[in-house]
Amino acid sequence: MGRVDGRCRRGCPVATGFLDGHRVLGFDLETTGFDPRSDRIVQFALVGSDADGSHLNTHSLVDPGIAIPIESSRVHGIEDGDVRGAGSFGDHIDSISRLIEGSVIVGHNVLAFDWRFMEVECSRIGRDVPEPLAIVDTLVIARRFGVPGRHKLGVLCERYGIRLERSHRADADAGATLLLLWKLMGAYPKKFKGGIEDFVASLSQ
């Protein structure tokens, strides 16, 4: 079983092949709610490997500048007191952008949720959205490949033997998503052919 506790001390494994030579990072956000227009980021994580195979693990709480609703805290366990003094999104955007630029970003429902928050938060502070080489959404992959059962991250992790601890914390979910991609690449090797950009483009066809 792959065990994810948010630390991935030996590096989160990533399948070889079309990801070789790229920085590959699991990406996840925790937020105050579901609407990027009115809600804010409270935690981010980028977990994975650099192009040379060295491990990367950057995660932090973020002060959203607004109260965190109780119902959101019940999901991710992050409360107002936890983010006090953690720095605003603007304080963290430089380190986030340095990692994302030119990288392969892997997330679960990342296109509809996490990346949308990134776009709105960057716009809010007058910053350009960092440009990854590609964004790989494991939710889209699971749906397109017809993986049986429900496609929530926790359900897919259980299906593929990934032990997800501290679910709904950004660092744990980011690491789990990267492991999930690795498992999907092993389960459907013929689907992962060619270059990463061609693969991502094929998912939108």
CATH code where residue 42 lies = 3.30.420.10
Q: What is the pLDDT of residue 117?
A: 99
CA pseudo-torsion sign 36, 37, 43, 46 = positive
Using 50 as the pLDDT threshold, list the residues of the chain that sit under it: 1-11, 13-15
Q: How many structural domains compose the chain?
A: 1
Range of the domain at 97: 2-203
Q: How far apart are CA 6 and CA 78, in angstroms?
A: 15
Backbone angles phi, psi at 104, to 5 degrees: -90, 115
pLDDT for position 9? 39
Name the residue with tokens 């960057």. Answer: 122
The whole-number pLDDT of residue 165 equals 81
- Which residues does 119 contact at the CB level (< 8 Å), separation at least 6? 36, 129
Q: What global pTM score does this model have?
A: 0.91
- For 73-114, write each residue's pLDDT tens digit: 999 999 999 999 999 999 999 999 999 999 999 999 999 999
